[in-house]
Amino acid sequence: MTPTLDWLAEPCPPIDQTAVQHALARQDQLTKPPGSLGRLEELAVRLAGLQRTATPEVDPVRVLLFAADHGVAAEGVSRYPQDVTKQMVRNIANGGAGVAVMAKAVGAGLDIIELGLATGSEVVEGVRSEPLGPGSGNIAREPAMTPEQLARALDIGRDAVDRAVDAGVRLIIGGELGIANTTAAAALACALLDRAASEVVGPGTGLDSAGVNRKAEVVARALALHASEPRDPLEMLRRLGGFEIAALAGAYLRAAQRGVAMLIDGFIVSSAALAAVRLQPAARDWMLFSHRSAEPGHRLMMEALEADPLLDLGFRLGEATGACAAVPLLRLACAVHRDMATFDEAGVSNAC
Ligand X SMILES: O=C(O)c1cccnc1
Residues taking part in catalysis: 319
Residue 71 binding partner per list ligand X, ligand RBZ, none, with a CB distance cut-off of 5 to 8 Å that depends on partner kind = none
- Give the whole-angstrom CA distance, residue 39 versus residue 329: 10
- Sign of the four-CA dihedral 242, 104, 328, 98: negative
**DSSP characters for 256-324?**
HHTT-EEEE-SHHHHHHHHHHHHH-GGGGGGEEE-B--SSTTHHHHHHHTT---SB-S-----TTHHHH
- The answer to the question of residue 286 lying near ligand X (CB under 6 A) is no
- Pick between residue 205 and residue 213 the one whose CB is nearest to ligand X: 205
Residue 197 binding partner per list ligand X, ligand RBZ, none, with a CB distance cut-off of 5 to 8 Å that depends on partner kind = none
| 45-53, 147-155, 164-172, 313-321 -> range binding ligand RBZ (CB under 6 A) | 313-321
- With CB under 6 A as the contact rule, the residue among 49, 71, 135, 204 that binds ligand X is 204
- Give the whole-angstrom CA distance, residue 97 versus residue 78: 19
Residue 6 CA, chain-centre distance (Å), reads 22
- Subset of residues 28 to 87 that bind ligand RBZ, contact rule: CB under 6 A: 78-80, 84
Cis bond upstream, residue 230 (ω within 30): yes
CB of 62 to ligand X, least distance (A): 19
Residue 295 binding partner per list ligand X, ligand RBZ, none, with a CB distance cut-off of 5 to 8 Å that depends on partner kind = ligand X
- The answer to the question of residue 182 lying near ligand RBZ (CB under 6 A) is yes
- The answer to the question of residue 233 lying near ligand RBZ (CB under 6 A) is no
- Subset of residues 156 to 195 that bind ligand X, contact rule: CB under 6 A: 182
- Subset of residues 281 to 300 that bind ligand RBZ, contact rule: CB under 6 A: none
- The answer to the question of residue 309 lying near ligand X (CB under 6 A) is no
- Give the whole-angstrom CA distance, residue 114 versus residue 132: 9
- Give the whole-angstrom CA distance, residue 132 versus residue 150: 9
- Strand boundaries in 92-209, DSSP class E: 109-114, 127-129, 171-177
- The answer to the question of residue 267 lying near ligand X (CB under 6 A) is yes
- Strand boundaries in the chain, DSSP class E: 61-67, 109-114, 127-129, 171-177, 261-264, 287-289
- The answer to the question of residue 85 lying near ligand X (CB under 6 A) is no
Residue 88 binding partner per list ligand X, ligand RBZ, none, with a CB distance cut-off of 5 to 8 Å that depends on partner kind = ligand RBZ
Radius of gyration of the chain (CA): 20
- The answer to the question of residue 316 lying near ligand X (CB under 6 A) is yes
- The answer to the question of residue 293 lying near ligand X (CB under 6 A) is yes
- The answer to the question of residue 178 lying near ligand RBZ (CB under 6 A) is yes
CB atoms within 10 A of CB 133: 18
Q: What x-and-dash track marks residues 195-214 binding ligand RBZ by CB under 6 A?
A: ---------xx---------
- With CB under 6 A as the contact rule, the residue among 37, 43, 151, 180 that binds ligand RBZ is 180
- With CB under 6 A as the contact rule, the residue among 75, 114, 155, 295 that binds ligand X is 295
- Which residue type does 168 have? G
Cα separation of the two ends of the chain:
69
- The answer to the question of residue 318 lying near ligand X (CB under 6 A) is yes
With residue 237 as reference, give the H or E element that holds it. Answer: helix 233-240
Query: Residues touching ligand X: how many (CB under 6 A)?
Result: 11
- The answer to the question of residue 215 lying near ligand X (CB under 6 A) is no
- Give the footprint of ligand RBZ on this chain (CB under 6 A): 78-80, 84, 88, 176-183, 204-205, 317-319
- Give the footprint of ligand X on this chain (CB under 6 A): 182, 204-205, 266-268, 293, 295, 316-318
